[in-house]
Structure 1
């Protein structure tokens, strides 16, 4: 785009920063409650982070493919990018630092964050290339309502379905049947098979926001804020019969998280693009290499967790010897450790941006 929308870059970078922060505490046994996922139903600020990224994937699709023709070359690029993301995710799940450098096949997790981003990007981009916004609204509605109907009315081996973490939860049941031991947990995966359907809807909602931002309409920030409030209301109403749940990526969760995404993006848009207030540049730098920064943070964190230092890992040794002090409860040093990690990657993103290093995945 000629007139680049700064708020989208800031929002993308801020989302990656939050993803790194919630993924790398000093110790998982001591984390402030807002930086943990909800145990099952409901949501915390942490539960907003991943749907925010899928939402902004959709917004970016609207920017990148709005004037593209549905050609074989375009489809090839979409497919290649999707496969790269899925491949990087599988690599993260399988890698270990000791020979043979790959986990036992049975213990490799197949679903994952990057895998979901790749799959969602593929379907959202293909749908955007082939249908107008009105049809996309219908598809999004069908995905959300269809998922609710499946989860509500399809029995599991003769037992009425439930939304609880139980064997007769349809999403959990399919994850175990399809992925077996390759799930995040033994009985479900938060990036599982069936919940991919509503996660595509999250990205489609981001596409609608992208179309609003690229339109010539006035007061776009008010449109986003109003849209966000409406989505929040609808999401909370739907929560009555289909609980807000990140692990299931419930339809109510899709609406609530997209509502917050529109509100936050609308506010950032107002200050950065309308009022031209200079802020958030460091997040823009992170957003310019979003997937690269996220992948590096996950990969290095995994390595630090596998390098042994005495009876603990390098990660554990640093936390215990540098951050832990008697005068602090463990939640604070755990947070400080995460903030240090975030600071490191923000500096790296800044250096990459200034040196014009942009790695496209």
Structure 2
């Protein structure tokens, strides 16, 4: 495609900005409910952010590889990008301020956000360049239904399976068996091994949207709206027997989040690419360097949490307490203002990088 679709760039940037916003509050002890993850079943606006990014990864795959010659070099590029993403994620998990700047092996978390993006990108890309859309639909259906069957009907260590946060939850059980102590929590990991299968479908659904956007179909916004509504209905119907759950990345969660992603993207597409209304430029700037902005925000936040400036108080904590906490506003508002300041900084950085034509290709 010679002509870029602005809505895709804006959607990608909006998603990465929201990821930074929800990941960097002033204090986790005071966060408004919409900026928290659901306790277990169900979802909040925050739970939409990561699946939105995997969705737009799939859409971007179409722009990168549709109608392009596929050779050994293509597979090499996909593999190298995958390894870079996984490597950055492992570095974030392993880094520490003390020499040799790597945590003890037992303390390193293997799964993670960037690791999942890398793995999902790899499999979604390989599937896209090897199969037509009809086969991809079948693969997506098999993965979602298969995941439901595995999670709901396969006994776990002699016990009936459950979708609850318990030892007989198959996803939890496999993560503990494979990764041991290298998990987010002792009993679950939101980027775990088995839940990567439906996460791949989140990108496949983005691929289908990308195929529509790059086609000669008229009324693309209307088509995306219809698909989004249909996915929402299917997701909520499936929720009755397979609850919507981000930590498990359930099949119903995949459909509902992809439904919302299509609706949001359809609206942005209609306003920008159809009506020509100019808005969201800052999101377009952020989308051009999405991965590096996310990596920097995570790395700097981690370092600020490690640096001690007043006894056991971290640099992050000291800055928050000194600048943002005041008697005339609630702690939740102070926490949000801190997060918004962080977002403003990375939006400014995105603006500078974009206008200086500096693009980090991960």
- Name the CA distance, whole Å, in 2 between partners of 1:67 and 1:172: 40
In structure 1, the residue matched to 2:341 is 340
Residue by residue, what CA displacement relative to the aligned partner does 1:163-220 show, whole Å, maximum 9, x if unpaired?
0000000000000000000000011100000000000000000000000000001010
The question of whether the paired residues in 2 share the 8 Å contact of 1:68 and 1:74 is answered with: no
Displacement after TM superposition at 1:69 (Å):
2.8
Aligned residue pairs, count: 361
TM alignment of 1:1-361, pairs within 5 A: 1-310=1-310, 311-361=312-362
In 2, the alpha carbon distance for the partners of 1:100 and 1:63 equals 41
TM-score, scaled to structure 2? 0.99
Shift in Å at residue 67 of structure 1?
1.8
**Aligned-pair distance for 1:70?**
2.9
Please state how far the C-alpha of 1:58 moved relative to its aligned partner. 0.1
Q: Does the 8 Å contact 1:171/1:192 carry over to 2? A: yes
RMSD value over aligned CA atoms?
0.5
CA–CA distance in 2 between the matches of 1:324 and 1:108? 33
Deviation, structure 1 residue 2: 1.2
SS at match of 2:181: helix
Deviations 1:270-298 (A, max 9, x none): 00000000000000000000001110100
Larger mean Cα displacement after TM superposition, 65-74 or 211-220: 65-74
Conserved 8 A contact 1:70-1:130: no
In 2, Cα distance between equivalents of 1:182 and 1:232: 34
Q: Give the secondary-structure state (helix, strand or coil) at the position aligned to 1:309.
A: strand
Equivalent position SS for 1:181: coil
1:69 alignment partner, SS class: coil
3-state SS of 1:191 partner = coil
Q: Is the 8 A contact 1:69 1:129 kept in 2?
A: no
